[in-house]
Structures are given as structure tokens and as C-alpha cells.
Structure 1
Amino acid sequence: MVPKVLILIGGLVANAPAFAEDNLAAAPPQLALRTTRDAASESCRRLDAMDPMQFSVVSLHRTFHDDFNQHPLTSGRWVPHYAGGAAWPEARYWGGDGSELKRQTKYNGEQQIYVDPRYSGRAATPLGLDPFKVKDGVLSIVASRTPPALKSVLFNNEYVSGILTTQSSFSQKYGYFEIRAKLPVGTGVWPAFWMLADDGGWPPEIDVLEGRGQRPGDMVMTTHWRSPTTGHVESCGFDFQLPDAPADFHDYGILWEQDRLIYLIDRKPVSDIKVPVGFEDPMYMIVNLAMGAKYFGGVGVVDGESPDMVAFEIDRVSAYQIDPYQRDRSTENAAPLKVNLVGDTDAR
């Protein structure tokens, strides 16, 4: 995708009083987050210089949680490929000519194919390739160079890697969506946590987190939508600098309210934007490690300097829904907040 408008401005997240949980490693059943209460802007804006008095608190309850104490494909919460429409035969996800269409994205310069133990590529039987490693409650999505003997079987992709999506198992309209992760680095390394509409349309797209592998500690958070007047895809977002992001776990999230989208790092608001047109449907979550990019700066194309093996480490992925009754932001009276929930409503 080539964004038509993309604001990319680096900066450090300013310290501010925290309303959220002090223990960021936890995914508690209940959560309170800061949210802006002034009028949302059509363009994204940074929040690190905002007066703390301009924030209020929203309470949420957990609706989805995976802390990866087991292989991600055993829980039924994830599938290891892009999902398709009802007309796409189930068998096509697992092998044969054409199966790569749901397991790679070539036009933007990616050079990986997403595999899992069931996937056979052009072979007659599953190849048994598993990019998902679990140890001590941490999931590693591992990208590695394709074995030469399997290059033609895997449609001549330079790397094998992994993707996990919740399409068909969990989607939600409004709420808070969060990943706790370390960001891998290296030429061509492109980790991401993002969301798409469950109806299969595009845009809208919420990029909660995209790492720039050639710029350690640099990540971008971006909103994408289609302009109803021009028909063009518009994008607005910011880069944020977190020098220890490759070495330490941090929380990256998006709070989707009725009137705005608020991006958070370690549960502190860092940017927001008025909800654009086209965000009517529930959205599902995607986490992946791509290799190579033509249009996304700071990643680079795959070359001899790219790592032979690299891992995107993920401690957990969680989602929360806004509690149905919130304290009104302008009065002391309790007021109902309408929400639309689709998917798993059990705290896990």
C-alpha cells in the first residue's frame, strides 16, 4: 500500500500521571485507561504535550486474551494465514497452486511466505514448517531463510515466517486492543500488530504497531481510511522512539471509542484522531513478521545483510470492551455508552 497522506514525526513519549495498571505485564480482567475529552480532530495529533486536565478515564472489561502458554494454533483463537470469503475453498489454505495468495503479499516488496506445520506449498504432503515457538509464556514468530531445497515448493520466497489472525474467531467494534512485545531489528525486518474489518473490506485499517527494522527503537502507529470525496486511501500517523523496544517488552495499544481512535504506548495516550468514515464494522486482530518492504520506510529490501533468522517476541495479546455505563465526561451523572460487541465475551 502507498499511503496518500502520512505524517511521520519522531518523538519521545512524555511522562504523565498513570491511570492504568502499574503492572504492565498483566492483562487484568478490568482496566482503566486515560482518554481525551476535547473535540477530536479530523487529522491525527500528538498527545504528549497535552494538559493532563484534558484527559478523563474510561473503564473496560477483558473480552479476549492469549498469554501464549501453549502453541497458538491449539487454542482455536488464531489461524496462520490471511482469511478469505465464503467462496474460498478450505483446502486452498493448506497447499497447491494458488494457496500462496493467502500467505504472502508480493506487491509491496515482502519476500516471505507465511507457513505452519500443515502447509504443503506445492508439495503433496505438509512440510511441517513451524514458525511459532513458545517458551516460558512467550511466543516467538520466527522468520528464517527458506531452505534451498524448498525454494521452488514455496513459490521462490526468500523467507518463511508466520502470521496469526483472529478473523472468524474474534472481532469487536469499539474497545481496547493491545500487544505486549519486543520489536526485532535488522534489514528487511517488519513486525506488525494491526486490525482489519471483519467483512473483508479494505480500508479501514488500524496499524497499532509497525516496527522499522533498520531503525532500532522506531515504531509507527497509523490509521488508514478511504476518502468519500476523492475515493483515495488516506493515512495519518506518527513515529515514536522507544530505544529499549528491541530488548524489553512494552505494551502497544489502540482505544477505539465512538468518536475517536487513541493510540497508547505502555497504556499512556500518545496520539489520537477522529474516527474516519468506513469504521462501521467490527475488526479482527493480526500479528505477523514480514521480511522486506518497497514502500514502508526504514524496513528495507531483503539482501545479504538481512538476518538469516529473526524473532518477533510476544508476551500476550488482549482485547477489552468499553463498560456499558461510564461516568459522563461533562457531568457527575451516570450515562449509558452504547457499544456493539461481536466475538468472544468471556474473560480468559
Structure 2
Amino acid sequence: MVRLSSILALILVLLGSSVQAGPDMSRYTPILIEEFDRPLSRFDGTTGIWRDYPRRQKYIGNGPPSLYVNPTLTRQDGSPLGLNPFRIEDGKLHIAAAPIPKSDMSDVQALLRQAGYKEQAVQNVRYYSGSLSTFSSWSQTYGYFEMRAKLPEGKGHWSAFWLVPSVNGWPPEIDIFEVLGRENGSKGRGSPDNRVHLRVHFDEIAADGSHAPEPTLTNPFEVVDGVPQPAIRRERQKGPRFTFAKTVDVEKAFERQIFDNFNTYAVSWTPDEIIWWFGPNSNDLREIYRTPTPRDVTGPMAVIFNNQIGGKWAGAPDPDKDAETFASTFIIDYVKVFAQTPETKTETGSINVQGSDSDEHLIGGAASQTFHPKGGFDILTGGGGADRFVIAGDSGSKVITDFAADDVLALTGWTFNAGPEALRRLEQVGPDVWLIDEQEPQAPQTLIFRDLNRSDLTSANFEFRPGG
């Protein structure tokens, strides 16, 4: 069935309508505004925002010779390996990359063998860099994601800001940007300078859940000679995979330099469409690509950003230019995550406020009430009185806007079951407090207490019901 929104979009494109000037932020609720004005909040198993190791403990990215490292990795004797790609300076995060020192190579190779890598991969590793994600702290379906960054130059760099499923499995994937480093300043023919690669990878699913035999999904926002363009099809062992893709030369289109300047990259993702944005700052963004939302790009996704070195696409660095190549780092000014504000808004004075499995905003009255949200992303506003919020494990992440000293959070089915443990898991994230429950391989479940300090919460604010 063809979506009405897609038909309207096609009509607008055919009529030559101008693209949207900027994202409509009234549709979104802020979740995470990370400006790197404090030490990096590393996930340590119970608290922290950023996980500094990839999914499924993969140290090697998309092929050799690049290795992702973090400060917790150790040598064979148990001492720290000492390779740390992360640095915060002047309110900006730097992710560095460099050749692995010869003195550390034997310990790195031992680490990879212990992790189960084949000997060929072990011998091919030459460089290290870093990856950060919210796999353990936050994921969401739909929303707005933005980064302001200056990207590393030099052949071999492959920097990216992307969304991937917070559960095991691939696709889907939304690449907010992928950029290959330029040839150490070379402006020769075929140079990838200032080109931003935009992608959404998906698995076209038929109505009965099977793989569709042909790439029937087309992009009504990309029309050539009056014909909407089909998705790119690639054959894989487990069936075909599909991609909507575009490469934008931002120097030609916007007179912007991505290696010499900070730029802003963003994606807005809704049930109907995905829109990519680019500009010098968040107040001056222009649409650079748009696709319909594929039917399997409708589950919780985590944020990830990283710099990889080498691989078939990026190419190997020139060893004679190592000093120049690795002096350039991936510099991130900020990362912002916004959730799509629930369309359902219910205000009630009922003693028991019953939720549904849809995303919703439940708002109470002045009296004491008990809230029973169910699945999905929910915003909860007590409204007054001594309120109780009953939240089951695996029921989705929630935002509580006005949690007070006499309110109670009643948890059931979580991975912990005591007030002191709940307090230990609290993380101060700007003006908010997060209670994180890592659920890997499932999506994490996190409660956000809006405009609260960790010291405002005590064990008396937590109640654990049977089963949790």
C-alpha cells in the first residue's frame, strides 16, 4: 500500500517545490544534550552515558587494519595497555587515531587472539582509534539527532555518525554521515574532499514478514526523468539487502569545507520519512537528502560515532605521511538527541492512570495518583500530590517531568531489586538524572528524571514489587 505522505511528496517534487528550510523542532523532546564540558561519562556497567567499545565486543571495525581501544584494555601482565584515543579539551571531544606502537603490538595481538580473532586479522592490525555509543544507556525509535564536528583529513580516515539497532542484528542502519579523509591536502582528480555520504540500509519486508523478492520500495523524493528511483539492491547470504544512498559535495553545494571548518550534521527520522540536514550551525540547516522510512527501520536505535582507519573503502594511510595524517583528529563540539514527542496526550484526575502500549504523555492532577504506563516511550507528569509510578522492566524508557520528594518509583522485573542499588545506578546528565538498566542484547531501559539532582533521591523513593 502506498502511503499518502509519499504520494504528496512525489507531487511536490514533480512540481518543483522547494525542500524544507529546517527541522521542525516543535515535534521533538530533548533527551541528551552532550556538550563535552565535563569528563567523559563512560558507561562502567551500571552508570555512564557513553560506551567506549563497539557492539558485541568487536575491537576491529569494518575490516582491518583499524582497532577500537579504550582506557580499560590491559596487557598480558594485567597492567593498562595505555592506548586512549579520547581527549576533552576546551569543551570539545577529540577522537584520535595513530599507528600502534611497536612496543605494544604483542599485547594487542594477544588481546585479539583471546577475543577469538583469526590469525590473519591479528597480523593485519596496524592502527588504533575510538568508538562511542549509547548501546548501554539509551535507544529510541524515531527522533532527531545532531552533531557539530570538524572531521579528520588524510587518506585512511573514515569518520561516521550513525544509528544502528540497539539489539543484535543488521540491518537497519541510518548513516547520518560517513566521510573519507582527503589525500593529505591533495586536490587531484577523484579526490573525496568535502563529500558526505548519506545512507539508510534496510531489509525490505513484505506484509507477511518475508523478504520481498524485488526492490519495490522507491524514493519519491529522488526523481530522474519523472521516475522515482529504486533502492540499491545487494545480494547477501541471508537474502537481499537494500540501500537508499546519496553523496553530497558540500563544497560545491554550500561552499563549506568539512576538514577545515566545524559543520552541523543531522537527521530527523519519523514513521513516514528520513531527512538529512547540513549547515554551519543548528540555526542554519538545509535539507540535503530525503527518503521514505523503510518498513524495517521502525525499531529502537542507538547513537554511535567513531573514526576508523583503513578498510577497502577508505584505503590505507600513506606511511610516509603518518605525522600529517594522524595529527588530524575527529573533533566533536556537541551531540544532541531528541525523541519524537508522543502525539497522544492524556490529562486525567483518576486515582489510577492507565497507559497503553503506544507512546504517550500522561498528565495527572493535584491529587495523589498511581501511574501505570505500558510499552513505548512515555512522558509522565504527576501534576501534584504523592504520586506512584509503576514501571515494569522491558516496557520502554520514560521521562518523568516533575518527580518530587514524596513520589515513589515502583519497579518490577528490572535487573536490580533494592533501593541502594538503584541509587548507585543514578547518573547526573546535565540538569537531569538518569536511571540506567542495561538489557543487552535487548535495548536498554532508562528512566529520566527531568530537572533533578542525584542528591534529591533516596532509597525511600524506590519500591520493588514481586518479580523485580
Query: How does the TM-score come out when normalised to structure 1?
Result: 0.72
Residues in 2 aligned to 1:77 and 1:317: alpha-carbon distance in whole angstroms:
12
Aligned position for 1:180: 148
Q: Deviations over 1:3-50 (max 9, x none)?
A: xxxxxxxxxxxxxxxxxxxxxxxxxxxxxxxxxx9527999xx99x74
The Cα shift of 1:184 comes to 1.1
Amino acid at match of 2:50: W
Residues in 2 aligned to 1:317 and 1:61: alpha-carbon distance in whole angstroms:
15
Q: Deviations over 1:126-166 (max 9, x none)?
A: 21221101111010000011101111221252111111011
Aligned position for 2:266: 253
Alignment of 1:147-226 (within 5 A): 147-155=101-109, 156=123, 157-214=125-182, 215-226=192-203
Aligned position for 1:51: 18
Residues in 1 aligned to 2:41 and 2:75: alpha-carbon distance in whole angstroms:
19
Residues in 2 aligned to 1:65 and 1:130: alpha-carbon distance in whole angstroms:
24
Aligned position for 1:233: 241
Decide whether the 8 Å contact of 2:20 with 2:286 is kept in 1.
Answer: no
Residues in 1 aligned to 2:39 and 2:295: alpha-carbon distance in whole angstroms:
37
Decide whether the 8 Å contact of 2:160 with 2:178 is kept in 1.
Answer: yes
Amino acid at match of 2:49: R
Aligned position for 1:111: 65
Residues in 2 aligned to 1:51 and 1:258: alpha-carbon distance in whole angstroms:
22
Decide whether the 8 Å contact of 1:123 with 1:153 is kept in 2.
Answer: no
In structure 2, relative to structure 1, the CA distance for the partners of 1:211 and 1:159 (3 Å cut) is: same
Residues in 2 aligned to 1:56 and 1:68: alpha-carbon distance in whole angstroms:
24
Residues in 2 aligned to 1:315 and 1:198: alpha-carbon distance in whole angstroms:
24
Counterpart among 135, 141, 147 of residue 95 in structure 2: 141
Structure 1: segments with no counterpart, 5+ residues: 1-36, 85-100, 327-336
The Cα shift of 1:325 comes to 4.2
Amino acid at match of 1:302: P
Amino acid at match of 1:317: V
Amino acid at match of 1:256: W
Percent identity between matched residues is 28
Amino acid at match of 2:88: V
Aligned position for 2:347: none
Residues in 1 aligned to 2:75 and 2:331: alpha-carbon distance in whole angstroms:
26
Amino acid at match of 2:87: K
Q: Which of 1 and 2 has higher RCO (CA within 8 Å, sep 6+)? A: 1
The Cα shift of 1:320 comes to 0.7
Aligned position for 2:227: none
Residues in 1 aligned to 2:6 and 2:29: alpha-carbon distance in whole angstroms:
25
Alignment of 1:293-308 (within 5 A): 293-294=311-312, 296=313, 299-304=314-319, 305=321, 307-308=325-326
Decide whether the 8 Å contact of 2:150 with 2:260 is kept in 1.
Answer: yes
The Cα shift of 1:103 comes to 1.4
Larger radius of gyration: 2
Q: Of Structure 1 and Structure 2, which has the larger fraction of its residues in helix?
A: 2
Residues in 2 aligned to 1:293 and 1:72: alpha-carbon distance in whole angstroms:
28
The Cα shift of 1:338 comes to 5.4
Aligned position for 2:58: 102
SS in 2 for 1:151: helix
Correspondence 1:281 to 2:299: yes
Q: Deviations over 1:92-151 (max 9, x none)?
A: xxxxxxxxx52112xx44312111111125553221221101111010000011101111
SS in 1 for 2:103: helix
SS in 2 for 1:154: helix
The Cα shift of 1:242 comes to 2.5
Q: Deviations over 1:176-235 (max 9, x none)?
A: 011111111111110001111111221001111101213221111100012322431111
SS in 1 for 2:107: coil
Query: How does the TM-score come out when normalised to structure 2?
Result: 0.54
